[in-house]
A and B are shown apart, each in its own frame.
Chain A
Amino acid sequence: MVDLAAAGSAVALLAGSLDAWLWVVPGLLIGLVFGAMPGISVSMAMALVLPATLYMEFLPAIIFLTSVYTGAGFGGSVPAVLMNIPGTSSAVATTFDGYPMARAGKHNEALGLALVSSCLGVLGSYIVLFFLVQPIAELVLRIGPFEMAAIAIWGMVLLGSLGGKSLSRGLFAAGIGVLLGTVGMNTAGYLRGTANIPELLDGIPTIPAMVGLLAASQLFGLVNTHFLVEAEEDRQISLSRIVAGGMMTFKHPRTLVRGSMIGALVGAAPGVGSSISNLLSYAEARRASKDRDSFGKGNPEGVIASESANSSSEGGSMATMLALGIPGGGATAILLAAFAMHNVVGGPRFMDQNRDIVYAIILSNFAQAVLLLFVGTAFVYCASSIVRLPLRFLIPCVLVMATMGSFAMEGSIAGPMTLFVFSVLGWLMSSAGYPVAAVVVGLLLGRLIETELLRAWQLAGGDIGEVLNHPWALVIIALMVLSLGFSMWQDSRRRRVEDITAG
């Protein structure tokens, strides 16, 4: 599985190239800063630094870009924890428990948790990649519409669980989200729900809608509050508490390993990897927990689950990119562009002929994960000072930044308009006690589920029995049913024990 000779050459290659190391810390810092800015995505941060790599050697250029990728991957979690703004769709689940922790004065611990989970997630996924780069790539080729539909349905099951105590409101919000996610032209060419607005042809802009629903709506609710953290003694920025938060990660090794595995495997699926993996990991962590009700109210496990999965998606998407030459998303597409700028063509042939370079990229990512721990700690220490800023200053600044970020995403006024419409919708729904997160998840998964179901339906020629010819899809559905059944059994057992204790 591991080509030892190539791995040895990779170590020699890295040891002999000072340039490759010089760019790691600047890359991480650039990634962290850009990733933490609402509206600047990982791929945008990488695109901005791409021209700078033109005059570098191939290996330092790729290492620099992967450093930006790693840094930005975690950077997006900082506003998710501190301001409920998921910079990218892969940080959505981080807001569920990270933000409640921050509001409760545990911002230091939440950021420490997120950082260590991210570093371990990156490290874990690259370790998996180091040993299994080829099998993972082969597995990706087997993921067809049936398997993707099964994964998406697994995500759908999560929607109900976001409803908290009121299942009907959770499902209602999720249904509205799924409907909103299908607005526009579907893959079969049918145009629905656009109200003759040309900007909606490709669907509702997801990132501005998501930021509006989760962040802007929350900010409106904070207008009568003075600080993000109300108690003055909780507003401290403490390195020891950040470190203590990071250490808490090790108390939940199962959540961490499960999140990393989900991230590495689902992250390898082109297109949707990281945006769905953090949600699946969160749902699984909640399902497996004995204290399910505390999820969404500041449970550290929620942060670990989300962060370990979204960061390990990087390794998964790199597997697809390196072994198959298929960019799973914007970030890996930019890496492929950097390959092209250096007259290198990614894909199976590159993998076969330059295995030492592939291993060098993977090994340098081990180092990046370790360095991120130190650079990231310094970064979150500075970033967490935001809790000391009075909200009367913070609210307009964040709303303006979110508006400009939405403009940057869409390149037109459609972004800010979407942001506004969805911030009002989010504010109204959260005031009425609806789980806004369910709308966000529905919005993210709606288009994906429709696309994959449609492909599966067309391939099967309308015959539902065709699913029996896709064992992987059946395995995914069986696992989902088993895990749901197990959690229901655990629930009923716990209730019985509670009844006996109370009686």
Chain B
Amino acid sequence: MRGAAWRVAWGQLALVTALAAFALAYLVDARTVSLSVNNLLLLQPTAILVLFLWGVIAIGCVSRAPAGEASPAPADWRATLRVVGMVAAFGFFILSLERVGYDIAMVLFVSAALWIGGERRPLVLVLFSLIFTAAAIFGFRALVPYPFPTTLI
């Protein structure tokens, strides 16, 4: 095919390679522990299958497109940014739970998530996150037998 260009789906390739790397690292770790059948009975064949499928999927990530064909339109960067913002906010929330207390972490996360979702009314941002946090903390404290650290409530 003259004039055709190679196109690589880099994001897809990176993800499948990272997952296959996990499978390989896990297999190496398990083989380091023991080479006994009792250790590798299911794990080794599954890891080998995953590595084989990595090859199949990786080849599929590379395709030839006719010259002049437009690349796929990039996704709306604002929309992507909002999703990444929500993932990051959730990550900070989880990491801060034990550090600042479940109550403060919850208030901060709920207001941040509301803001990312498009809520701009300050009163709603503050009141909703405070009321929801109080309800969640008291509710779960009554239900869950384990203590969880809080700072204010």
Residues B42 and A453 in contact, CB atoms below 8 Å apart: yes
Residues A458 and B38 in contact, CB atoms below 8 Å apart: yes
Residues A176 and B23 in contact, CB atoms below 8 Å apart: yes
C-alpha gap A190/B36 in the complex (Å): 9
C-alpha gap A216/B90 in the complex (Å): 10
Among A266-274, A327-335, A405-413, the one that faces the other chain is: A405-413
Residues A224 and B42 in contact, CB atoms below 8 Å apart: no
List 29 A-B residue pairs with CB atoms under 8 Å apart, sorted by A's residue number.
Answer: A48-B143, A171-B53, A172-B50, A175-B46, A175-B47, A175-B53, A176-B50, A178-B42, A178-B46, A179-B22, A179-B23, A190-B34, A190-B38, A192-B43, A223-B82, A224-B83, A390-B117, A392-B114, A392-B118, A396-B114, A399-B93, A403-B94, A427-B87, A428-B15, A450-B41, A450-B42, A454-B42, A457-B38, A457-B41
Residues B30 and A193 in contact, CB atoms below 8 Å apart: yes
The residue that B106 contacts in the complex, of A176, A400, A428, with Cβ under 8 A, is A400
Task: List chain B residues, Cβ under 8 A from A183.
Answer: 26
Most chain A beta-carbon neighbours within 10 Å: one of B29, B47, B53, B54: B53
Interface check A131, CB cutoff 8 A: no
The residue that A391 contacts in the complex, of B37, B110, B117, with Cβ under 8 A, is B117
Task: List chain A residues, Cβ under 8 A from B97.
Answer: 403, 413, 416
Interface string of B84-109 (1 = CB under 8 A from A): 01110011011001100010001001
Known interface pairs A192-B33, A192-B43, A407-B146; A179-B15 also in contact (CB < 8 Å): no
Query: Which B residues contact A (CB, under 8 angstroms)?
Result: 11-12, 15-16, 19, 22-23, 26, 29-30, 33-34, 36-39, 41-43, 46-47, 49-50, 53-54, 56-57, 60, 79, 82-83, 85-87, 90-91, 93-94, 97-98, 102, 106, 109-110, 113-114, 116-119, 128, 132, 136, 140, 143-146, 148
Q: SS class of chain B's interface: helix, strand, loop or mixed?
A: helix
Task: List chain B residues, Cβ under 8 A from A391.
Answer: 117
Interface string of A448-460 (1 = CB under 8 A from B): 0110011001100
Known interface pairs A192-B33, A453-B42; A179-B47 also in contact (CB < 8 Å): yes
| Shortest Cβ distance from A48 into B: residue | B143
Most chain B beta-carbon neighbours within 10 Å: one of A48, A169, A172, A416: A172
Residues A172 and B90 in contact, CB atoms below 8 Å apart: no
Residues B33 and A408 in contact, CB atoms below 8 Å apart: no
Interface check A503, CB cutoff 8 A: no
For the complex formed, measure the closest distance between the CB of A482 and the CB atoms of chain B, giving whole angstroms: 25
20 extra interface residue pairs, beta carbon distance < 8 Å, beyond A223-B85, A224-B82, A417-B94: A176-B22, A179-B43, A182-B43, A192-B30, A223-B117, A224-B83, A395-B113, A396-B110, A396-B114, A396-B132, A400-B136, A401-B136, A403-B97, A404-B136, A404-B144, A412-B146, A416-B94, A419-B94, A420-B94, A462-B37
Task: List chain B residues, Cβ under 8 A from A40.
Answer: 143
Residues B43 and A408 in contact, CB atoms below 8 Å apart: no
C-alpha gap A404/B50 in the complex (Å): 34
Task: List chain B residues, Cβ under 8 A from A397.
Answer: 110, 132
| Shortest Cβ distance from A433 into B: residue | B12
C-alpha gap A400/B23 in the complex (Å): 31
For the complex formed, measure the closest distance between the CB of B74 and the CB atoms of chain A, giving whole angstroms: 14
| Shortest Cβ distance from A447 into B: residue | B42
| Shortest Cβ distance from B12 into A: residue | A432
Residues B33 and A182 in contact, CB atoms below 8 Å apart: no
Residues A188 and B38 in contact, CB atoms below 8 Å apart: yes
For the complex formed, measure the closest distance between the CB of B149 and the CB atoms of chain A, giving whole angstroms: 10
Known interface pairs A416-B94, A419-B94; A396-B109 also in contact (CB < 8 Å): yes
Interface check A220, CB cutoff 8 A: yes
Interface check A393, CB cutoff 8 A: yes
The residue that B93 contacts in the complex, of A182, A188, A403, with Cβ under 8 A, is A403
Interface check A191, CB cutoff 8 A: yes
Task: List chain B residues, Cβ under 8 A from A395.
Answer: 86, 113, 117
Task: List chain A residues, Cβ under 8 A from B128.
Answer: 393
C-alpha gap A395/B37 in the complex (Å): 46
Interface check A429, CB cutoff 8 A: yes
C-alpha gap A172/B116 in the complex (Å): 34
C-alpha gap A392/B19 in the complex (Å): 32
Most chain A beta-carbon neighbours within 10 Å: one of B22, B93, B94: B94
Most chain A beta-carbon neighbours within 10 Å: one of B15, B46, B91: B46
C-alpha gap A145/B116 in the complex (Å): 51
C-alpha gap A453/B148 in the complex (Å): 39
For the complex formed, measure the closest distance between the CB of A439 and the CB atoms of chain B, giving whole angstroms: 10
